[in-house]
Amino acid sequence: MNSLDLKITKPEAHFKKPLVNEGKYTNTDKKKLAKASKEFESMLTTMMIKSMTKTTDGLFGKDNYGGDVLDVLFETEMANFITQAKGMGIADKIYNNITGESLASLSKLDNNNSLRRDVKIKRVENESINKKNISTNDKAIKRLEKYKDIIEEAAKKYNVDEKLIKSVILTESSAKAEVKSKANAKGLMQLMDSTATAMGVKNPWDPKENIHGGTKYLSKLLNLYSGNKDKALAAYNAGMGNVKKYNGIPPFKETLNYIERVNFYLNNLD
């Protein structure tokens, strides 16, 4: 079959006046139309590249091994890149003809929606943190009072801020000495068996041993990270291996929330 060469002397004549379709298409519909418009432009661009390289027997020449396959791959990738970048305006013309809008307006809408979504998420996160106020933890504060003397003793012995110890206890166990986590962390400062053993704790259920063991471990972490409190807290929660792996605070949601909660208590405790 012989190829049919088309000569278009007035390209704009083939695009009708934009339709007035305000409110006719949802944002989801518009995204689908934009995708289809770009795919159509990409197809035309591929044909154009193929036509341009026809005299050179393709992008890789006539005698290149596997050139016919590579030609198709590279032509398609080049066309997609051109279309997704600035493009030749064909996709925008098609989209505009159907919706009466420009692709740029859709992109702006997506950016605004993304910004609103990010702001909403941040607002919810902030509200969540604000709800973690001391007044809603009166029972925990009262429970913590029972260990005041032990905390003071451990703070002096291991040179750790009393408020930091209290904040870790409130975050770890809400000052409940009998708490055990799913990971088998035990007591007020949620000591793992290996940590308890390393810190010389024989009975992690004993409040004094638990607080002294947890404070000793916290002191070692603070010294290890040159007094960087957040790094020490990250290691206390996620382990020193993860802090080393990520060269700082690991991007774990649980760890980030943990640090934020400890700091909240630290800044609000009397």
DSSP string, 162-173: HHHHHHHHHHHH
pLDDT at 128: 46
Range of the domain at 43: 11-105
12 is catalytic: no
- Look up the pTM and report it: 0.53
Of 89, 105, 121, the residue that ends a domain is 105
Q: Tell me the CATH number at 202.
A: 1.10.530.10
**How many domains is the chain built from?**
2
pLDDT at 103: 66
Domain check: are 23 and 96 in the same one? yes
Q: Rounded to an integer, what is the distance from CA 149 to the centroid of its chain? A: 42
Residues 70-90 have pLDDT tens digits of 455 555 655 565 656 556 677
User: Which pLDDT band, with edges at 50, 70 and 90, does 106 fall under?
Assistant: low
* Catalytic annotation, pick one of 172, 178, 209, 260: 172
* Average confidence score pLDDT of the chain: 77
Domain check: are 137 and 234 in the same one? yes
State whether residue 201 is helix, strand or coil: coil
Kindly state whether residue 203 falls inside one of the protein's structural domains: yes
Centre a 10 Å sphere on the Cβ of residue 187 and count the other Cβ atoms it contains: 26
Under DSSP, the state recorded for 11 is G
Of 59-63, 109-113, 188-192, least confident by mean pLDDT is 109-113
Of how many residues is the chain composed? 270
